[in-house]
Amino acid sequence: MLPGANSEYEIRGANLKIRQIPVDGYETVVVAEDSASQLHALIAIHDTTLGPALGGLRMWDYSSEEEALTDVLRLARGMTYKSACANTGLGGGKAVIIGDRETDLTEERFRAMGRFIETLEGRYITAEDVGIGIRELEWLREETSYVTGLSRSSGSSGNPSPFTARGVIRGLFACAEERFGTSHLDRLRYSVQGLGQVGGDVVRCLSMLGATVTVADINDERCEEYAALPGVEVVPQDEIYSVDCDVFMPCALGGVLNDDTIPLLKAQVVAGCANNQLLRSEHADALYSRGILYAPDFIINAGGIINVSVEVREQGYNERTAVRKIENIYDGLREVFETSRRENLTPAEAADRVAEFRLEQARNRNGHHVADGAPNS
Summarize pLDDT for 71-130 with one digit per residue, the tens: 999 999 999 999 999 999 999 999 999 999 889 999 999 999 999 999 999 999 999 888
DSSP H or E run through 226: helix 220-227
The arithmetic mean of pLDDT across residues 354-362, rounded, is 93
The Cα angle at residue 278 between residues 277 and 284, in degrees rounded to 5: 130
Position 343, amino acid: E
Domain 7-77+92-147 has CATH 3.40.50.1820: no
The arithmetic mean of pLDDT across residues 330-359, rounded, is 96
- The percentage of residues in the chain with a pLDDT greater than 90, rounded to a whole number, is 83
DSSP E strands in the chain: the ranges are 7-11, 14-20, 28-34, 39-47, 53-60, 91-98, 124-128, 189-193, 212-216, 232-234, 247-250, 269-270, 293-294
Residue 94 bears catalytic tag: yes
Q: What's residue 88's pLDDT? A: 93
Compute the distance between CA of residue 4 and CA of residue 19 in angstroms, rounded to an integer: 7
pLDDT band per the 50, 70, 90 thresholds, residue 149: confident
In the chain, where does the domain assigned CATH 3.40.50.10860 lie? 7-77+92-147
Q: What's residue 369's pLDDT? A: 52
CATH architecture of 161-301+332-353: 3-Layer(aba) Sandwich (3.40)
Q: What's residue 377's pLDDT? A: 43
Read off the DSSP letter of residue 301. Answer: T
In the chain, where does the domain assigned CATH 3.40.50.720 lie? 161-301+332-353
Q: Which residue in 82, 94, 266, 325 is the catalytic one? A: 94
